[in-house]
Structure 1
Amino acid sequence: MNDSETVLVENKNSSLPSTINNGKEMGVLDHLEELRWHVIRAVLAILVFTVVAFVAKDIVFGKIILGPSKINFLTYQFFCKMSSITCIDSLPFILQNRVMTGQFTMHIAASIAFGFICAFPYVFWEIWRFVAPALYNEERNTARGATFFVSLLFAIGVFFGYFLIAPLSINFLSNYQVDATILNEIDISSYVTTVAMLTLGCGLMFQLPIVVFFLSQVGIVTPELMKAYRKHSIIVILFISALITPPDVISQCLIGIPIWFLYEMSILISATIQKKRNLAVAKAEKLREAK
């Protein structure tokens, strides 16, 4: 898989695929060695992007991460162009650092988060390279393009969280006051943590269709099961939305609605997979009867 080619063969005594390396069946230690190298390459990719982000702090930290804290941010300008009612023309808070090592540690933490986001497609690709040889040819063909769709959904979720959920949440929290005498002086660690949670949380939440796809492939999830628990799923979605967003209804709904849409789309995906499985079973039975 990494140094030598890995192939799949059918075990004579079993219908399960067997992975061999250099003509010998791979044992547990061999698989662990393969996994180790995949993990090392994935971590190195994250480190490379982390170093790039750390060096380019004027762009990554000054413009991207701190972007939603500035009134000239793209989202705020868009809302102002839409209508005077939706216009966000003030963010009454300032960012400050109260710890001697605060800015340095936040610089490192933000760089790591940025590095993970950029390296996510490659990280998943390494995971897929480790898992794929254990699958049947038909299963691999069915899951072809998994890296592309996982990366696409992750990117959509990240952009959705960064350009919509994060700015609206920051606007709500910066304008909220229990008393006019209390000033919003936000610590830099709190700000970076909030933006990172919203952005990464949306990116991971948008992986729901992919998760359902693979669970449906192994028969754990069915469209009937998802339909039966549809009402329960709404409660779970709202609960998870409340965990990764600030305590305001608008942010929860903004992230909950697209997740609910993805849940409904996942039902269709699961139904399609079940239909293909039923057709395959029916075809196998006909061939067995013909013999």
Structure 2
Amino acid sequence: MGAKETSNAKSAAESIAEGGLMSVFDHLGELRKRLIYIIVVLVLGLVIGLLLAQPMYKFLMSQDPANTISLHTFSLWDGISMYMKFAFIIALIITLPFTVYQLWSFVKPALRENEQRSTLKYVPLALFMLLIGLAFSYFVVFPLAFNFTRMVAGQLELEETFGIAQYFSFMFNIIIPISLLFELPLAIMFLTAIRIVNPIRLRKMRRIAYFVMVFIGVTITPPDIISDILVAIPLILLYELSVWLSGMIYKKQLEADKRWEEEFDRTAGS
């Protein structure tokens, strides 16, 4: 087992050394290739999204609060705009795991063999966390914000007329940022695995992180304490989960480094 780890570490060091000999243009060329792959998949995702836009629209219109109001169009472009927005959401869901895989492929040469295996599992997790974020933002945050705006309109005795473009723009401006925030634990795990961040640094940044999470929660929710708490607490818990997961990975890295050093000392002494 020790010999295998030594061999893996040696091969990793060789690959890093080789990567160090690569010019800046080589790295930029590799990054350009990955970006082209992502753009191609994004375009294909948009095509699929256009095909699925109408079923997705009908599903959302059958759910609260859309099924309790009448939506109107105020522009000839509203229908096309809706198709493109729905297509973009579907393309985002399709493209995100592939984007994570391309990121993993880009940094793979600089990782040890065991780090390559451990970071590859983040690809399916990216889709899982995105779907959880979509569910939380749509079923929890969006109704809070929507009902608050209607309450204010009622207090001002305004006659409500909902435009389809305004309704879905309001919805997407809430659910997309929150859904992407749910990728935070995954991003922290990945950055820890490639040794860019560690739990020590994350704990030192806790106050700043809490402030950012509370600020986001207050910004995207109605200005009442209940709504702010309902959104800010899950975001803070996401950060704490990220710190905990980072700690688990960091501990394994320290143990692996210690075993490698002990094996290296034994090999050097023999």
TM-score normalised by L of structure 2: 0.78
**Alignment partner of 2:18: what SS?**
strand
Q: Does 1:188 align with 2:184?
A: no
**1:1-291 paired onto structure 2 within 5 Å:** 16-18=16-18, 27-64=23-60, 67-71=63-67, 91=68, 94-177=70-153, 179-290=155-266, 291=269
Inter-CA distance 141–220: structure 2 relative to 1 (3 Å threshold) = same
- Cα distance in 2, alignment partners of residues 64 and 142 from structure 1: 37
* Deviation of 1:145 (Å): 0.5
- Cα distance in 1, alignment partners of residues 105 and 15 from structure 2: 22
- Unmatched runs of 5 consecutive residues or more in structure 2: 1-9
C-alpha contact (below 8 Å) 1:61/1:110 kept by paired residues: yes
- Cα distance in 1, alignment partners of residues 240 and 259 from structure 2: 29
Instruction: Identify which of structures 1 and 2 has the higher relative contact order when contacts are C-alpha pairs closer than 8 Å and 6+ apart.
Output: 2
Can you list the C-alpha shifts for 1:64-97, whole angstroms capped at 9, x where unaligned? 36744424xxxxxxxxxxxxxxxxxxx5x54333
**Alignment partner of 1:148: what SS?**
helix
The share of aligned pairs that are identical, in percent, is: 26
- Cα distance in 1, alignment partners of residues 62 and 149 from structure 2: 15
* Deviation of 1:11 (Å): 9.2
Inter-CA distance 127–228: structure 2 relative to 1 (3 Å threshold) = closer
Can you list the C-alpha shifts for 1:46-72, whole angstroms capped at 9, x where unaligned? 22232233234431223236744424x
Inter-CA distance 29–278: structure 2 relative to 1 (3 Å threshold) = closer
C-alpha contact (below 8 Å) 1:19/1:133 kept by paired residues: yes
**Alignment partner of 1:184: what SS?**
coil
- Unmatched runs of 5 consecutive residues or more in structure 1: 1-8, 72-90
C-alpha contact (below 8 Å) 2:71/2:162 kept by paired residues: yes
C-alpha contact (below 8 Å) 2:12/2:112 kept by paired residues: no
**Alignment partner of 1:210: what SS?**
helix
Question: Which one has a larger percent helix, Structure 1 or Structure 2?
Answer: 2
TM-score normalised by L of structure 1: 0.73
Q: CA RMSD in A?
A: 3.2
Can you list the C-alpha shifts for 1:121-157, whole angstroms capped at 9, x where unaligned? 2232233223323323232123130102222111211
Q: Which amino acid aligns with 1:18?
A: E
* Deviation of 1:240 (Å): 1.8
Q: Which amino acid aligns with 1:230?
A: R
Inter-CA distance 35–226: structure 2 relative to 1 (3 Å threshold) = closer
C-alpha contact (below 8 Å) 2:214/2:232 kept by paired residues: yes
Q: Which amino acid aligns with 1:101?
A: W
* Deviation of 1:10 (Å): 5.2
C-alpha contact (below 8 Å) 1:65/1:192 kept by paired residues: no
- Cα distance in 2, alignment partners of residues 130 and 218 from structure 1: 12
Q: How many residues align?
A: 258
Moved segments of 4+, more than 6 Å: none
Can you list the C-alpha shifts for 1:218-246, whole angstroms capped at 9, x where unaligned? 54533334334434432221112233445
Can you list the C-alpha shifts for 1:175-219, whole angstroms capped at 9, x where unaligned? 332645312323333322222122222221111212222333354
Q: Which residue of 2 aligns with 1:3?
A: none
Q: Which amino acid aligns with 2:123?
A: T
C-alpha contact (below 8 Å) 1:209/1:269 kept by paired residues: yes
Inter-CA distance 119–11: structure 2 relative to 1 (3 Å threshold) = closer
Inter-CA distance 163–219: structure 2 relative to 1 (3 Å threshold) = same
